[in-house]
Amino acid sequence: MKTNPFHFSPSSFNWATASRLLLGLTFIFSGFVKTIDPLGTALKITEYLNVYGFGALTDLRIPLSIAFCAAELIVGLMLVFGVKTRLVSIVALLVMSFFSVVTLLSATLLPVEDCGCFGDALKMSPWASFGKNVVLWALALIVWRDARRRKLNILPVTPRELTATLLFACMAVGLGIQCYRHLPLIDFLPYKKGVNLRAATQGEGGAAEEMRMIYRDLRDGSLREFAVSDTTWYDSSRWEFVESVESPATTPASDQPAMSLREFALFNAAGDATRDIVDFDGRVYMLCASRLDLVTPACAERFASVATRAAQEGARIVLLTSTPLSGAETVTFAGHPVEAYNIDATTMITMLRAPTGIVVLENGVIVDKKNIRDLKVES
């Protein structure tokens, strides 16, 4: 008698079923929140690769991100729908065993501030993540033992199971590629639409006086602390961002803007120009290019279209980049000179999950964000 992988009845519900559903839903949630932000997941993968000495693989971070998140999502869907439960429970056991070891190391010998298990949707310390992984490992063991007791087959794969697996794979991989080519489906980051940068960057003493940046010297591995206003850390070929620290605040913690928002700082030849932009009354088009060499002819054409629109509207337009600027620089698009400002690379990628694109402010409030691919060239 063949077992229907999609069959469910109240009488069949037991601890093993509850474990399978809970394990599957956790995998789905974890896989989904990372799949919709493949660039953010790639950054976390890069961090782990560097910590474990596999920095040479960082060029593969995007394919690894999409494949890893899709696999996690697929496993979760197969568990919830009961597709090849015995095989998938073995995969889940191996995965949870591996990540239990990784999070234990992250909490002890190879410290990592945030495990990245649930992307930016839910932050967990390595110790909390380790405890969570042990619980999930136990659930996977229960599911595997139950599937083994019921003698569920690993092979062969029925046409229905194959169809379901391929459907799950297409959905998961397609979602990852779509969000990479555009922007995350759901924005869990501090710089989401509706955030008031003008208010967030205000405070007693100003952000530049409250925030300190810790960077690692790539030449010798030593750490150095910078003030936000110190432009030395713009050289991304030498300095790698580690974390930001904060001077004691004079207002209650509940009233403090998110730390990453207070790290928002723009600089030009005259120094800190943050307030010049966020306090502007009206619309500001912030063209974003994490590196100036990423402004290809196609990208420049789209930026030129925005520059033309800004001129017609009487709006302000600026270019933000982490490429060090020498002196007062402007970049010309469609005959319109655009002021260029420096911004920290980590802040930029947190604000816009794309190498190039645009963020639009209206009286200091973020009203729109777009990947460069979604900017239309207006004739």
- The residue out of 111, 146, 181 marking a domain boundary is 181
Residue 2 maps to a domain: no
What token pair was written down for 274? 């943050």
Task: Check residue 258 and give its pLDDT.
Answer: 56
Whether residue 21 has pLDDT greater than 90? yes
Residue 160 maps to a domain: yes
Region of residue 38 (phi > 0: left; psi between -120 and 50: alpha; otherwise: beta): alpha
CATH value at residue 342: 3.40.30
What is the pLDDT averaged over residues 198-216? 63
Asked whether residue 265 falls in the same domain as residue 321, the answer is: yes
Asked whether residue 222 falls in the same domain as residue 94, the answer is: no
Any residues with CB less than 8 A from the CB of 315 and at least 6 apart, and which? 282, 283, 284, 285, 309
Residue 63 maps to a domain: yes
pLDDT confidence tier of residue 251, bands split at 50, 70 and 90: very low
Cα separation of 24 and 40, whole Å?
Answer: 23
- The residue out of 156, 181, 206 marking a domain boundary is 181
Residue with the bigger pLDDT between 118 and 11: it is 118
* Share of the chain residues as helix, strand and coil, in percent rounded to the nearest 5: 50, 15, 35
Asked whether residue 112 falls in the same domain as residue 203, the answer is: no
Residue 188 maps to a domain: no
Asked whether residue 118 falls in the same domain as residue 236, the answer is: no
- The least confident of 168-172, 209-213, 287-291 is 209-213
Asked whether residue 164 falls in the same domain as residue 211, the answer is: no
Asked whether residue 307 falls in the same domain as residue 177, the answer is: no
Pairing of strands 271-272, 267-268: antiparallel
Asked whether residue 216 falls in the same domain as residue 158, the answer is: no
Asked whether residue 161 falls in the same domain as residue 276, the answer is: no
Asked whether residue 208 falls in the same domain as residue 319, the answer is: yes
- The least confident of 51-60, 244-253, 359-368 is 244-253
Task: Check residue 208 and give its pLDDT.
Answer: 43
- Total count of domains within the chain: 2
Asked whether residue 165 falls in the same domain as residue 241, the answer is: no
Q: Which domain holds residue 207?
A: 197-374
Asked whether residue 176 falls in the same domain as residue 205, the answer is: no
Q: Which of 202, 375, 164 is nearest to 279 (CA)?
A: 202
pLDDT confidence tier of residue 252, bands split at 50, 70 and 90: very low
Residue 1 maps to a domain: no
The sign one gets for the Cα dihedral 157, 159, 160, 161 is positive
